[in-house]
Structure 1
Amino acid sequence: MRVDDIRADGGPAAPRPVSGGPAPPSAAPAPPRPSTAWIDFARVCAMGAVVLVHAVAPLVTASHTDLGTAPWWAANTLDAAARWCVPVFVMISGALLLAPKPEAPREFYRKRWARIGLPLVAWTAAYLLWEVWRNGMDAETAWRQAASGAPSVHLYFLYVIAGLYLLTPFLRTVVAHTPRSGLWWFAGTATALGVADQALSLVDGAGGATAATRFLPFLGYYLLGWLLHTAAPGARTARPAAAVLLVGTAATAGAAWALADSAGAWEAGSAYVYDYLSPTVLPSSVGAFLVLRAAGLRLARAQGRAAGAVRRAVGRISALSFGVYLVHVMVLYELRGLLGAPDGWQAVGAALGYAAAAALLSLAAVAVVRRIPGARALLI
């Protein structure tokens, strides 16, 4: 017996194939992991879209523009065109976290609680105290908003992500042992249930989300993120996706106007069309995800000093993006309260200016806070 016929533990090695005989079957090579080089770009774009949505929303509800006028249509189009922002954030999380990996649930929860737990508690308290100071909100209302998982107009997202994290170790097992066709059925069923849940909420007295259940309608988006991320990229995917995004945006803007016009005012039906699980926003979100993935991968492959500089800038902004998500509402609302909100076309210009200023000021504030020892954990 030769040296190479002995295992490292001293036992005999597996029999060597006889020359000329059939080779032993070998395990199929693992498929290459899809590139995540596009995610920084997508995250930055989604963050900008979130700020834009919050800046133009008061105009769409006809607070500063008259329903159906040209300024209202401008705000409506801008808002409809950015409604994919939160679904894309959820899909990015699914793309990053649902890949099967040898990580014990306890270890996963320990890591994720360190990232989401403290910010969830701290920013819930901060925004409720801010609302008490700003609007005189009483303690009962503050508790009700916290229990509903929506202590502020945007913080429900923390409760959505926290709930999805709880299911992730189980979902990884499902992803690892379910054929891809089965995963598409799972994602489709979960998405359909989310759409139905949002539609049924229009019925007076039906349902209502809480801090414990707010994530459930977004489960389909979470699964879609992984499925779309691992699908083959390319122009053949990006071009139809861009068409879907444009059609979905037009349908969202048009349906919101039609319902508001028939009711004579912005009301629950119009607001439903803007919901992240409405029949028009859902395809827009999928289209936006695929377009951003294609654009981000193209940026990652681009050559030259300029492309490299853009990638570095995108990477730095991406690292600050979730902190910007957390703080921008305070910055935006304080800017609007300090400088006022005009009407008509001036309102549209002011909203765009406030969005840009809030994004820049939030970026600067987060960059400074992250350098303070112990404060970085508050910004994820």
Structure 2
Amino acid sequence: MAILGVLAIHIFGLILGEEQLRGTSTWYFGLIIDLGSTWCVPVFVMISGALLLDPRAHVGGPGIFLRKRALRLVPALVVWHLVYLLLVRRVFFDDRPTIENVLLQLIDGRIFTALYFLWLILGLYLVAPVLAAFLADGGRKRAVVTAVVASAWTAVILALPGITTELGSPRPRGDNIVIMFLPYIGIFVAGYAWREPQRHGWRWLWTGALAVALMAETIWQYNVRPDHTWLQALSPVAYFSPLVVIASVCLFVCVIDLCSRVELPDRAQRVLRSLGAATFGVFLCHLVFYSVFRRWYPDFWADPRPVAKIQMYVAIVVLSFALSLVARKVPVLRRVF
């Protein structure tokens, strides 16, 4: 589900780049889908936290844990940076940046649109053994407190640039591939803290309702920018902003509670596991197909009509999953999908 949200942001978000459409039904269509999908990155991180902070993942010690993750992530990180730099940017778009520009873009995590996420996950991998050791004997309470405190710390860091701007002395927040994982530590721990489903009761209902309400506020807040300057400063719209984080946790809890009550046939479970295993590859390759449309079908790519965006979305989802599923059956390609 989260990967579908990522693709939705990249495709339907194109509508919001057309400022002349503001206030039209097309604008609101793109706004609702794009901003309504901002939960996807936090939920991705929460799923990672639920898996990577589990004590069972660290039975062999930090060395084995890190080696296993490095063998999975580092080849993909290197190969896909080269794919987007040399194939997409150079071959597709004849973009020939200088070595200095490439190095600066690499430091900023901006070689291509979503590749920063690989550096984010790499940073979380590196701190996972330390966090897991800290959380191991503290029970759920320690995990919840850690998630809340870390998320509150992130909220302050996120708000400070806006606050200083309102006070007339801007202090922009810097970011780079070494530290970009830090704002996500609270979300990472939250996935572990709230990983256990409740198979009975109504928790799914109120968490789902709260998630919808908070995402509605996020959509409204983005739409009224730059009005309500202090609100925009104190809680800017971002993947790790307070309201988006709370909404993402609520959605995560709602979904795991509902899924725990559904008994699927073995065949359906196998299909879902295969699709789930393919999502990493989908994340990595979908922007190649996006770029193909941009380069060779520019009118279709730029068409803001909802029907055109839905068609492009479906095409990229199908093509990306097809490539990822096939690539995972090829031993060499499997290492980078």
TM-score (ref. length: structure 1): 0.78
Q: Which amino acid aligns with 1:105?
A: P
Q: Which residue pairs with 2:333 in the alignment? A: 375
Q: Which residue pairs with 1:289 in the alignment? A: 252
Deviation at 1:312, TM superposition (A): 2.8
Residues of 2 paired with 1:78 and 1:192: CA distance?
Answer: 27
Q: Where does structure 1 lack aligned partners over 5 or more consecutive residues? A: 1-44, 264-268
Residues of 1 paired with 2:132 and 2:211: CA distance?
Answer: 29
SS class of match (1:207) = coil
Residues of 1 paired with 2:142 and 2:271: CA distance?
Answer: 39
Are 1:71 and 2:29 matched, yes or no? no
Q: Which residue pairs with 2:290 in the alignment? A: 332
Deviation at 1:112, TM superposition (A): 0.7
Q: How many residues align?
A: 323
Residues of 1 paired with 2:325 and 2:54: CA distance?
Answer: 30
Q: Which amino acid aligns with 1:241?
A: T
SS class of match (1:298) = coil
SS class of match (2:122) = helix
Change in Cα spacing, 1:314 to 1:246, as seen in structure 2 (3 Å) is: same
Deviation at 1:56, TM superposition (A): 0.8
Are 1:49 and 2:15 matched, yes or no? no
Do the aligned residues in 1 keep the contact of 2:212 with 2:247 (CA within 8 Å)?
yes
Change in Cα spacing, 1:344 to 1:116, as seen in structure 2 (3 Å) is: closer
Q: Which amino acid aligns with 2:258?
A: A
Residues of 1 paired with 2:287 and 2:42: CA distance?
Answer: 19
Deviation at 1:249, TM superposition (A): 1.5
Deviation at 1:147, TM superposition (A): 1.0
| Higher-Rg member (1/2) | 1
Change in Cα spacing, 1:338 to 1:132, as seen in structure 2 (3 Å) is: closer
Change in Cα spacing, 1:262 to 1:178, as seen in structure 2 (3 Å) is: closer
Q: Which residue pairs with 1:15 in the alignment? A: none
Deviation at 1:296, TM superposition (A): 2.5
Residues of 2 paired with 1:85 and 1:238: CA distance?
Answer: 18
SS class of match (1:375) = helix
Residues of 2 paired with 1:337 and 1:273: CA distance?
Answer: 33
Do the aligned residues in 2 keep the contact of 1:59 with 1:72 (CA within 8 Å)?
yes
Q: Which residue pairs with 1:250 in the alignment? A: 216
Q: Which residue pairs with 2:97 in the alignment? A: 138
Could you tell me which of 104, 108, 111 is aligned with 2:61? Answer: 104
Change in Cα spacing, 1:219 to 1:362, as seen in structure 2 (3 Å) is: same
Greater displacement, 217-226 / 369-378? 369-378
Residues of 1 paired with 2:237 and 2:201: CA distance?
Answer: 29
Summarize the alignment of residues 198-347 of structure 1 with structure 2, pairs less than 5 Å apart.
198-202=158-162, 203=165, 204-230=170-196, 232-260=198-226, 273-299=236-262, 301-302=263-264, 307-341=265-299, 347=305
Summarize the alignment of residues 86-97 of structure 1 with structure 2, pairs less than 5 Å apart.
86-97=41-52
The percent identity for this pair of structures is 28
SS class of match (1:317) = helix
Q: What whole-Å deviation, never above 9, does each CA across 1:147-177 have from its counterpart, x for those lacking one?
A: 1223221111111111011111111111112
Q: Where does structure 2 lack aligned partners over 5 or more consecutive residues? A: none
Residues of 2 paired with 1:240 and 1:276: CA distance?
Answer: 22
Do the aligned residues in 1 keep the contact of 2:197 with 2:257 (CA within 8 Å)?
no
Do the aligned residues in 2 keep the contact of 1:47 with 1:85 (CA within 8 Å)?
yes
Deviation at 1:138, TM superposition (A): 0.9
Q: Which residue pairs with 1:187 in the alignment? A: 147
